[in-house]
Amino acid sequence: MTAGNDGSTAAQAEPYRHMLALQFTLLNVVALGLLAIGWSQGLVDQALAADSTHFVVVIAVVFLVSLVLSAWRVFEVSRELERAVHYDPARSSMTRRFLERAAGKDGGSRQILGQSLRLELSQRITLVRHLANSLVFLGLIGTVIGFIMALSGVDPTKVADAENITPMVSALIGGMSTALVTTLVGSVLNIWIMANYQMLATGTARLINAIVELGEERAGT
């Protein structure tokens, strides 16, 4: 007897297990398309050139780690959804482990197990959210560094000397460019990863509901 026949929640999860991977692919293909357009217009090169500290590269590396982690978690959730929908006791899965632990337990114990499962799966995707938030913080750090660069290049005692105006203005512009570019890049990439996180959180919630619902229905038979 399969989960698709056992429970309404698991049955509802069946089309979503394909939709999650499709949504992830569609979201990131569109985002990469927009990035490619920006690259072709020279916007990416301008952003890199404007940041003399190369702090944008650090932000980009953290973003790539976040994106790879998001892809891996989406794969895991999709796989576990498939194993919950078409439950097979012979296959190792979160569903099997939960059912084994819930077998013979009363309603209160099963509820505690369900809460434990929810906490475990939620913690698996928490790192994606933390990395997304770190992109904003890195952008703010870049902003501070840019302002420090801009202000450190200005010497009030030499403002009256026309020969010193040009290098001070150049330092001011360079620092402000770094501040603005790092803030913009960090914010945009944060939105990108947070969109992936929200989608992943929805898929995780559906997985939890499918497993717990299957456990309740088997306990009632």
Q: Please tell me the predicted confidence (pLDDT) of residue 7.
A: 46
Query: Exposed, middle or buried, 145 (CB in 10 Å: 0-12/13-18/19+)?
Result: middle
Residue 37 to residues 25, 31, 191, Cα–Cα distance (Å)? 18, 10, 18
Per-residue b/e over 55-79, b at no fewer than 16 CB within 10 Å?
bbebbbebbeebbebbbebbebbbe
Number of domains in the chain: 1
Contact 206, 94 (CB under 8 A): no
What pLDDT does residue 214 have?
Answer: 86
What residue numbers bound the domain in which 203 lies?
Answer: 3-219
Q: Dmax over Cα atoms in the chain, in whole Å?
A: 90
* Length of the chain in terms of residues written: 221
Q: How high is the pLDDT of residue 83?
A: 87
pLDDT in the model for residue 215:
86
pLDDT the model gives residue 182: 92
> For residues 219 and 92, is the Cβ–Cβ distance under 8 A?
no
pLDDT in tens, the chain (221 residues): 344 444 454 455 555 557 888 899 999 999 999 999 989 998 888 888 888 888 999 999 999 999 999 999 999 999 998 888 888 888 898 989 999 888 888 888 889 999 999 999 999 999 999 999 999 999 999 999 988 888 877 766 666 666 667 777 787 888 888 889 999 999 999 999 999 999 999 999 989 998 998 888 887 65
Give the C-alpha distances (Å, rounded to integers) separating 13 from 82, 102, 105, 116: 9, 21, 25, 21
